[in-house]
Structure 1
Amino acid sequence: MRAVTSPADAAQYTAALAARYHEVRALSLALAEPLSAEDQCVQSMPDASPTKWHLAHTTWFFETLALRASLPGYRPFSEAFAYLFNSYYESLGARQARPERGLLTRPPLSEVLQYRAQVDEAMDALLATSIPVELAATIELGIQHEQQHQELILTDVKHLFSRNVLLPAHSAASQRPRTAPVALAWIEFEGGRCEVGHAGAGFAFDNECPRHAVLLPPFCLANRPTTCGEYLAFIADDGYRRPEFWLSDAWATVQAQGWRAPLYWREIDAEWHIFTLHGERLLDADEPVCHLSFYEAAAFANWAGARLPTEFEWEAAIGSAACDGHFIEAGRLHPEAAHPGTGLLQRFGDVWAWTRSSYDPYPGFRPFSGRASEYNGKFMVGQLVLRGGSCATPAGHVRASYRNFFPPAARWQFSGLRLAREC
């Protein structure tokens, strides 16, 4: 959060915060608008959540962490919602088990929308006052938190619709520009002593801090993410049947789950199709491969005679580059093929890039204070870091220091890879 040095500056900052609040809240409703009430109630797997739950949980976050503590006389919409829509905050009490969120046929969607409206009205009243710096930081965290759930709304709906024999679409596809394929090339980086982590003004999650030095040997990164066509060559070479490419846990998972291609791919009459948020279509060999687990990304890299980059190599290579890319606002909701250019292409947006780095605390890590202390730190075990954002990430939400994380077998996110190797 930027510095506030005068009453006029404080009023300007609060007005900007209020505008951002409403912009983000409106986007969540816009993402849910194409869905029926039935669509928004169903949970397709334990890792996913119903859209209705996402809409309510992000509202619960503002009500619990901002309104209850800061707005005199505020009356919660429903005391039962503290149980129904808490996610993982142990300090805030018991909650609905995550795998059972799809059982919440009540409250109905209409009541969840009333809940959002009441909290938005109360937040307007709060943001019309002179708020302390600590509260402004909590509201900014809530805005960023809702942006994370906007991506989850789309990835969870995509998984849900893929399980429906009708293969419904979330929205109509926009025109996809066609360009000449971009050949794979290697970009060299000298390494050395590099600073990583969040620096300067602006929001950052606690897991991005503190900024610190790392020492990197020289390395090379691919100029673009790995494409579907390149991944098809791995499949054609029996990549899913050759254990020499796979980590031990990965091979066990492949055998147990019967994986033979990325999630949402299927072969019909010798042609590969892919399910998207716009429905099923033929696979485009030039677009970035996505919906890979870390296990699949690492196996492909081994097969290709390369490796996955570390998160520090990725961040050092990106440097201070602008966060340009295809994000949620573009409306494409699927990675598109790289456009010709020089240097690293598709640095942000389109597809998350798995790294070889475990999700560990940085030296000197300190969690957020207060109730938000449970936000990130307690998940720093058994997870791998992803970088760069995706076509389902809101614009302005990611930055070079942003650390996403998932367990290595997760496939329902827009996760792909960019190859690395020693120079």
Structure 2
Amino acid sequence: MIANPKIIDVVKKYTDIRNHSVAICAPLEIEDFVVQPIVDVSPPKWHLGHTTWFFETFILSPNFPGYEVFDPQYNFVFNSYYETIGARVIRTDRGNLSRPSVADVYQYREYVDQQMKAFLQSESMSKSIESLLELGLNHEQQHQELLLTDIKYILGHNPLFPAYRKDSGVKQENLRIGKMIHFNEGIYEIGFNGNGFCFDNELGRHKVYLQDFEISDRAVTNGEYLEFINDSGYTDFRHWHAEGWDWVKQNDIKSPLYWHFIEGQWMYYTLDGLQELDPGEAVCHINFYEAAAYAAWKGMRLPTEAEWEVASEEFPWGNRWEWTGSAYLPYPGFKKEAGAVGEYNGKFMVNQMVLRGASEATPKGHSRNTYRNFFHANLRWQFTGIRLAK
């Protein structure tokens, strides 16, 4: 019997993506897997379990005859925000779960992976499930980026500043002298177009009218942001939105996340540990308040997400998620799917700002210039940076 090449490719893609999550966690000590310093950070153990739960809950249980769940209690433990699926551990308590153990979670992954490989090669794997499988794989890749982000926060807030791994291989290129790129007033189209995967919030390609604008061909650097700090950027209310100024005062913010002024020198926590700040690198871990304040200080602004997408063919991107001045709202004609899958993006379209691009933590093959990332304005634990427009 000759194996179907398409099935072989699907199984390989599934296996490669799932193995990458395990590889991300390989440098961790067992104690690192359970830590949750803040509500926005989930323990690595939880990420490993949640991504496995996704395949068990949405693909195997309803579609693979005879499938037995690994542990009925895991639905309560590893459900994230799907109201359709039922009750769950509240997000703030994920770090309180000493059980299931890390070993239990890895056994869970192995069990589900074996069952998924059998399912993908069975007659139960129908054409109608392909899009759900693709969503599950992209969901896992989203959590791979979150894994690196959360691991950096966990280790970066340890007073010993331990390295995630020695020589992580993440080398940042110093940015050249930048220039502004001009775009003429006119009607443009944005939104996903073509074949391949995208999330539902990218669909609905539509026309937008843009005034003349200019956008920088590179991101803001550490050195440039340091000029803002040295010019009383964090102590002059004139640059800040009122909400942002409240955030600065209430939290005594004086610099970006992971910056430390030690013995007269700025240091920066990286995945390789604490290092001297490189002024030529793109500034990172900036929230929307900080990005908007810096832009105001420069006499410029953040690009809208439409401007960013239209201009994205003209400059390199992908090193930092870049804040835009656009609220996260539905595109024309957006429609939530029925059931739990419909909870994936649509219900978060309030009080969040859009980021565009990708970052050094984004898995390969998971980037598009139509990708709409979104976070609340105060969050900066993601690999976020600034691109200016005017």
What TM-score, normalized to structure 2? 0.96
Counterpart code for 1:75: E
Moved runs in structure 1, 4+ residues, more than 6 A? 175-180
Aligned length: 388
Do residues 344 (structure 1) and 315 (structure 2) align?
yes
For residues 53-68 of structure 1, the aligned pairs below 5 Å read 53-68=46-61
Determine if the alignment matches structure 1 residue 300 to structure 2 residue 269.
Answer: no
1:311-326 matched pairs, under 5 angstroms = 311-319=305-313
Say whether residues 1:394 and 2:387 are aligned partners.
no
Quote the residue 2:25 is aligned against: 32
* 2-structure distance, mates of 1:227, 1:19: 39
| Alpha-carbon spacing, 1:15–1:225, altered in 2? closer, same or farther (3 Å) | same
**Contact 1:207–1:367 (Cα < 8 Å) also in 2:** no
> Is residue 2:138 matched to residue 1:135?
no
Alignment partner of 1:282 is 2:276: yes
Residues in 2 aligned to 1:124 and 1:176: alpha-carbon distance in whole angstroms = 32
* In structure 1, C-alpha distance between the alignment counterparts of 2:28 and 2:175, rounded to whole Å: 35
| Residue pairs, 1:47-126, within 5 angstroms | 47-126=40-119
Q: Is residue 28–residue 164 contact of structure 2 (8 Å, CA) maintained in 1?
A: yes
Which residue number in structure 2 is paired with residue 193 of structure 1? 187
| Cα distance in 2 for residues equivalent to 1:51 and 1:178 | 25
2:191 aligned with 1:231: no
Shift of 1:395: 1.1
Per-residue deviation at 1:273?
Answer: 0.3
Q: Deviations over 1:84-115 (max 9, x none)?
A: 00000001000001000001100110010000
Task: Provide the secondary structure at the position in 2 that maps to 1:252.
Answer: helix
1:156 corresponds to 2:150: yes
Tell me how far 1:17 sits from its aligned partner: 2.3
- Identical positions, percent: 47
Measured against aligned partners, the alpha-carbon deviations of 1:340-377 in whole angstroms (never above 9, x if no partner) come to xxx523x12x1110000000000100123432111000
Q: Residues 113 and 21 (structure 1 numbering): CA distance in 2 closer, same or farther, change over 3 Å?
A: same
Correspondent of 1:405 among 354, 374, 380? 374
Aligned position for 2:199: 205
Normalising by structure 1, we get a TM-score of: 0.89
Q: CA deviation at 1:12?
A: 4.3
Shift of 1:241: 0.4
Residue 374 (structure 2) pairs with residue 381 (structure 1): no
Aligned residues of 1:15 and 1:127 also touching (Cα < 8 A): no
Q: Distance in 2 between matches of 1:19 and 1:66?
A: 17
In the TM superposition, residue 172 of structure 1 has moved relative to its aligned partner by 1.4
Distance 2:255 2:100 in 1: 39
Q: Distance in 2 between matches of 1:368 and 1:158?
A: 34
Instruction: Name the counterpart of 2:251.
Output: 257
Consecutive unaligned residues of structure 1, counting only runs of 5 or more, are 1-7, 320-342
Contact 1:368 1:375 in 2 (8 A): no
The 1:177/1:397 distance shift into structure 2, 3 A limit, reads: closer
Report the secondary structure of 1:146's partner residue. Answer: helix
Q: Taking structure 1 as reference, are residues 181 and 95 closer, same or farther at Cα in structure 2, changes over 3 Å only?
A: closer
Give secondary structure in 1 for the equivalent of 2:267.
strand
1:30, 1:36 → 2: CA distance?
Answer: 13
Cα distance in 2 between the residues matched to 1:351 and 1:50: 23
* Contact 2:175–2:282 under 8 Å retained in 1: no
Deviation at 1:180, TM superposition (A): 7.0
SS in 1 for 2:158: coil
Query: What per-residue deviation string (whole Å, max 9, x for no partner) do you get for residues 228-280 of structure 1?
Result: 00000000000000011000100011100111000000111221000011100
Give me the whole-angstrom Cα distance separating, in 1, the residues matched to 2:218 and 2:193.
Answer: 26
Contact 1:17/1:140 (8 A) holds in 2: no
Secondary structure of the structure 2 residue equivalent to 1:78: coil
Which stretch shifts more, 398-407 or 14-23? 14-23
Q: CA separation in 2, counterparts of 1:170 and 1:180?
A: 22
Secondary structure at 2:341 match in 1 = helix
What secondary structure does 2:365 align onto?
Answer: coil
SS in 2 for 1:410: coil
Residue identity opposite 1:85 in structure 2: F
Question: Structure 1 residue 207: deviation in Å?
Answer: 0.6
User: Structure 1 316/96 Cα, relative in aligned 2: closer, same or farther at 3 Å?
Assistant: same
CA distance, structure 1, for counterparts of residue 324 and residue 128 of structure 2:
34
The Cα of 1:223 is off from its aligned counterpart by 1.3
Give the letter for the 1:255 counterpart.
K
Are 1:416 and 2:385 an aligned pair? yes
Measured at CA, do residues 288 and 381 of structure 1 come closer, stay the same or move farther in structure 2, by a change above 3 Å? same
Unaligned runs of 5+ in 2: none
Question: What is the alpha-carbon distance in structure 1 between the residues aligned to residue 182 and residue 160 of structure 2?
Answer: 47
Alpha-carbon offset, residue 303 of structure 1: 0.3
The alpha carbon displacement at 1:16 in A equals 2.4
Cα gap change, 1:359/1:180 in structure 2, threshold over 3 Å: closer, same or farther? closer
Tell whether the 8 Å contact from 1:192 to 1:216 is kept in structure 2 after alignment: yes
State the distance in 2 between where 1:176 and 1:380 align: 32
AA in 2 matched with 1:99: T
